[in-house]
Amino acid sequence: MPSPSALQSLDAGAVHLRLAHVTKRFGDTAAVDDISFDVPRGSFATLLGPSGCGKTTTLRMIAGFYDPDAGDIVLGGRRINELPAHRRGTAMVFQDYALFPHMTVRGNVSYGLRLAKVAKDELARRVNETLDFVGLGKLGDRWPNQLSGGQQQRVAVARALVLRPEILLLDEPLSNLDAKLRVQLRWELRTLQQQLKMTFVYVTHDQDEALSLSDWIAVMNAGKVEQHGAPWEIYYRPKTAFLADFVGAVNLVPGTVREVRGGQATVQFGERSVTVPVPADTSLREGGEVKLCVRPEALGLAPRGATTDGAALPGTVARKAFLGDLMRYWVTIDGREWIVDQPDPGASTPLDGEVLVQVRPERVHVIAG
Amino acid sequence: MRSLQREPGLLLALLAVIVLVCVFILYPQIRVIITPGTGYIDFLSGGTWIRSTSQSIQVMVLSTTTAVLLGFVFAYAMVYTDMPWKPFFRLIGILPLLSPPFVVAASYLILFGPRGLITYGIFGQTISVFGLGGIWGVQTIAFFPFAYQLIADVLSRSDARLEQAARNLGAGPWQVFRSVTLPLSRPGLGAAILTTAIYVLEDFGNPALIGGTFTVLPTQAYGLISGFGDLPGATAVSTLLLALALILYVAKIRLDGGRSFITVSGRASSMPRPPVPVVLTWACFVACLLLAVVILTVYGTLLVSALTLNFPNNLSFTTKHFEYITSDVNGTALQNTLIFGVVAAAFSAVFALVAGWLVERGSWPGRRVLDFLLIMPAAIPGLFFGIGYATAFNEAWLDWLDRGVLIIISMIFWNIPVGYQAAVAGLRQIDRTMDEAATSLGASSLRGFRDVLIPMLGGSISVGFVTTFVRAVTTLSVVIFLFTSGTTVATIRIFQLVNDLNWGRATAFTVADIGMAILALGGIALLSRGRIALGAARA
Please give the full DSSP string across A32-48, using - where no structure is assigned.
EEEEEEEEETT-EEEEE
Lowest mean pLDDT among A181-185, A282-286, B126-130, B383-387: B126-130
Lowest mean pLDDT among A150-154, B14-18, B287-291, B375-379: B375-379
Rg (CA), chain B: 24
Q: A299 forms bridges with which residues in the sheet?
A: A359
Out of A84, A90, A115, closest to residue B7 by CB: A84
pLDDT in tens, B82-118: 889 988 998 888 888 888 888 888 888 888 876 666 6
Percent of chain A past pLDDT 70, that is, above it, reads 96
Phi/psi at A367 (nearest 5 deg)? -110, 125
Domain ranges of chain A: 4-242, 249-368
State how far residue A319 is from chain B, nearest Cα, in angstroms. 36
**What pLDDT is stored for residue B133 in this prediction?**
85
Please, are residues B405 and A48 in contact by the beta-carbon 8 Å criterion? no
Question: Chain A residues with CB inside 8 Å of B438's CB?
Answer: 86, 100, 111
**What pLDDT is stored for residue B539 in this prediction?**
31
Residue A300 to residues A96, A270, A342, Cα–Cα distance (Å): 43, 20, 7
CA angle A266, A272, A278 (to 5 degrees): 20
Low-confidence ranges of chain A (pLDDT < 50): 1-10, 12
Residue B450 to residues B283, B425, B447, B453, Cα–Cα distance (Å): 50, 18, 5, 6
Q: Do A84 and B456 touch (CB under 8 A)?
A: no
Percent of chain B past pLDDT 70, that is, above it, reads 91
Torsion sign across C-alpha atoms A206, A207, A210, A212: negative
**What pLDDT is stored for residue B271 in this prediction?**
59
**What pLDDT is stored for residue A2 in this prediction?**
46
Question: Chain A residues with CB inside 8 Å of B3's CB?
Answer: 84
Closest Cα in chain A to B437: A98
What is the pLDDT averaged over residues B316-330? 84
Helix (H, G, I), strand (E, B) or coil at B314: strand
Closest Cα in chain B to A96: B433
Residue A259 to residues A102, A172, A275, A289, Cα–Cα distance (Å): 69, 45, 9, 12
**What pLDDT is stored for residue A152 in this prediction?**
93
pLDDT band at B315 (very low <50, low <70, confident <90, very high): confident
Q: How far is residue B472's CA from residue B351's CA, in Å, rounded to a whole number?
A: 16
**What pLDDT is stored for residue B411 in this prediction?**
93
Out of A65, A96, A115, closest to residue B447 by CB: A115
Q: Do B441 and A84 touch (CB under 8 A)?
A: no
> ipTM more than 0.95?
no
The CATH architecture to which A4-242 belongs is: 3-Layer(aba) Sandwich (3.40)
Burial class of residue B278 in the structure, from the number of CB atoms within 10 Å of its CB (0-12 exposed, 13-18 middle, 19+ buried): exposed
Residue B200 to residues A172, A223, A267, B196, B204, Cα–Cα distance (Å): 52, 54, 82, 6, 9
Residue B238: how many other CB atoms lie within 10 Å? 31
- Highest-confidence range of A44-58, A336-350, B34-48, B305-319, by mean pLDDT? A44-58
Closest Cα in chain A to B7: A84
Please, are residues A368 and A282 in contact by the beta-carbon 8 Å criterion? yes
Number of Cα atoms under 13 Å in the Cβ half of residue B158: 29
Q: How far is residue A206's CA from residue A203's CA, in Å, rounded to a whole number?
A: 9
H-state helical runs in B441-478: 445-448, 454-456, 458-474
**What pLDDT is stored for residue B511 in this prediction?**
92
Phi/psi at A324 (nearest 5 deg)? 90, -80
Out of B439, B443, B455, closest to residue A102 by CB: B455
pLDDT band at B123 (very low <50, low <70, confident <90, very high): low
Out of B431, B443, B456, closest to residue A86 by CB: B443
Query: In B, what residues contact A, Cβ < 8 A?
Result: 2-3, 6-7, 431, 433-434, 436-444, 447-448, 451-452, 455-456
**What pLDDT is stored for residue B120 in this prediction?**
62
Pairing verdict, β A168-171 and A15-26 = unpaired
Out of B440, B447, B456, closest to residue A63 by CB: B440
DSSP annotation of A53 reads S
**What pLDDT is stored for residue B527 in this prediction?**
76
Question: Chain A residues with CB inside 8 Å of B456's CB?
Answer: 100-102
The CATH architecture to which A249-368 belongs is: Beta Barrel (2.40)
What is the pLDDT averaged over residues B504-529? 85
Torsion sign across C-alpha atoms B427, B431, B432, B434: negative
**What pLDDT is stored for residue B162 in this prediction?**
80
H-state helical runs in A134-213: 149-161, 179-196, 207-213
**What pLDDT is stored for residue A262 in this prediction?**
82
Phi/psi at B363 (nearest 5 deg)? -140, 35
Q: List, in order of start, the domains of chain B with CATH numbers.
A: 7-31+319-486 (1.10.3720.10), 37-261 (1.10.3720.10)
**What pLDDT is stored for residue B146 in this prediction?**
87
**What pLDDT is stored for residue A55 in this prediction?**
95
Closest Cα in chain A to B5: A84
Q: How far is residue A163's CA from residue A117's CA, in Å, rounded to a whole number?
A: 12
| Amino acid, single-letter form, for residue B446 | L
**What pLDDT is stored for residue B528 in this prediction?**
67
